[in-house]
Amino acid sequence: MKSIILSKTYPPPPFCEKEILRYANCKNENENIRALVNKCINEIKNKLTYRVCYCELPIKITDNICDFETFSVKSEKLAFNLKGAEKTILFAATIGTEIDRIIIKYGRLSPVKSLIFHAIGTERIEALCDAFCADIEKEYHIQLAQRFSPGYSDLPLSDQKNIFAVLEPEKRIGLTLNDSFVMSPSKSVTAFIGLNGKQNLNKCSDCNKLDCTFRGV
């Protein structure tokens, strides 16, 4: 099977202040912080781009090895997540370099703004992924399981290499990978989504990071 890689640009998804505050680790926000968050949103909102590239891959699972034909990865949790699917969507998404520029800038000038921009960037990229997944759900008439990225649970970061080889996001959406498997722009996501209907891992209780600040029940 030949995989076809498509690219898409999205309009800005609506901002969610509550999520931004959560990512900024702020639980008792006051007017002061709110005003700062809004100021930061205004400073960045016209500078972001919302780009995704993706393809459909076949999947065969044997003994926790997920075989995508052109490459395979070993991960018990991903295998569980993709169980029952014959196909999977592999995607890469980014909100571009401007968010990194501004984080670098305020890293030198105002750590609090740098923190807020980090939080905004995280909220933005997650919102973009949500918008993309909503499109896929519509297109395939299916409810999707949790998207699954390298670095989650037992799926090593080094699998980014295979993902980048397939999607070539460098030339499609300007997303690059360094030698330690870190992506630039930093506010970017790569992930698998199984086209298997809901086969969900619980976001929190199935994760091993027990000291996570965002851990729910």
Partner 1 sequence: MDFRKYLKNNIVYLDGGMGTLLQDKGLKPGEHPECWNLLHPEVITNIHKAYFDAGSNVVCTNTFGANCIKFDDDKLELIIKSAITNAKTAREQSVIKNEKFIALDIGPSGKLLKPLGDLDFEDAVNVFAKTVKLGVKYGVDLIIIETMNDSYETKAALLAAKENCDLPIIVSNAYGEDGKLMTGATPDAMVAMLEGMGVDALGANCSLGPHQLRSVIEQLLKKASVPVILKPNAGLPKSENGKTVFDIDADEFSAEVTNLVKKGVRVIGGCCGTTPEYIKSLFSRTSSCKPVNVVPKNLTVVSSYTHAVEFGEKPILIGERINPTGKKLFKQALIDNDMDYILAEGVNQQEKGVHILDVNVGLPDIDEVSMLKHTVCELQSVVDLPLQIDTSNIVAMEQALRRYNGKAMINSVNGKKESLETVLPLVKKYGGLIVALTLDENGIPDTAEGRVKIAENILKVASEYGIEKKDIIFDSLAMTISASNKSALSTLSSLRTIKKQLGCHTSLGISNVSFGLPNRDAINSTFFALALENGLSSAIMNPYSADMMKTYYTYNALKGLDENCSEYISAAEHFSVTTVHDTICPQKNAEEYSSALQNAVIKGFKEKSAEITKELILKTPPLDIINNEIIPALNIVGNGYENKTVYLPQLLMSAEAAKSAFEVIKASMSGKEKTVTNNTIVIATVRGDIHDIGKNIVKLLLENYGFYVVDLGKDVPAEEIVEKVIELHAPLAALSALMTTTVPAMEETIKLLKEKAQWCKIVVGGAVLTQEYADKIGADKYAKDAMESVRYAQLIMLNKTN
For partner 1, the binding residues (CB under 8 A) are 2-7, 9, 24-30, 32-33, 36, 49, 55, 70-71, 96-98, 100-101, 103-105, 107-112, 114-116, 118, 157, 162, 165-166, 170-171, 174, 176, 178-182, 184-186, 211
Residue 162 beta carbon to partner 1: minimum distance, rounded to whole angstroms: 7
Give Rg (Cα) of the chain.
18
Residue pair 41/23 in contact (Cβ under 8 Å)? The answer is: no
Residue 14 beta carbon to partner 1: minimum distance, rounded to whole angstroms: 20
| Edge-to-edge order in the sheet of strand 65-67 | 60-62, 65-67, 72-74
- The closest alpha carbon to 52, from 198, 175, 139, belongs to 175
Residue 200 beta carbon to partner 1: minimum distance, rounded to whole angstroms: 25
Residue 199 beta carbon to partner 1: minimum distance, rounded to whole angstroms: 24
- Which of 67, 98 has the CB closer to partner 1? 98
- Which of 185, 194 has the CB closer to partner 1? 185
3-state secondary structure 79-147: HHHHCCCCEEEEEEEECCCHHHHHHHHHHHHCHHHHHHHHHHHHHHHHHHHHHHHHHHHHHHCCCCCCC
- Which of 37, 127 has the CB closer to partner 1? 37
- Which of 24, 59 has the CB closer to partner 1? 24
Residue 172 beta carbon to partner 1: minimum distance, rounded to whole angstroms: 9
**Contacts with 122 (C-beta within 8 Å, 6 or more apart), sequence order:** 23, 187
Residue pair 96/185 in contact (Cβ under 8 Å)? The answer is: yes
- Which of 62, 178 has the CB closer to partner 1? 178
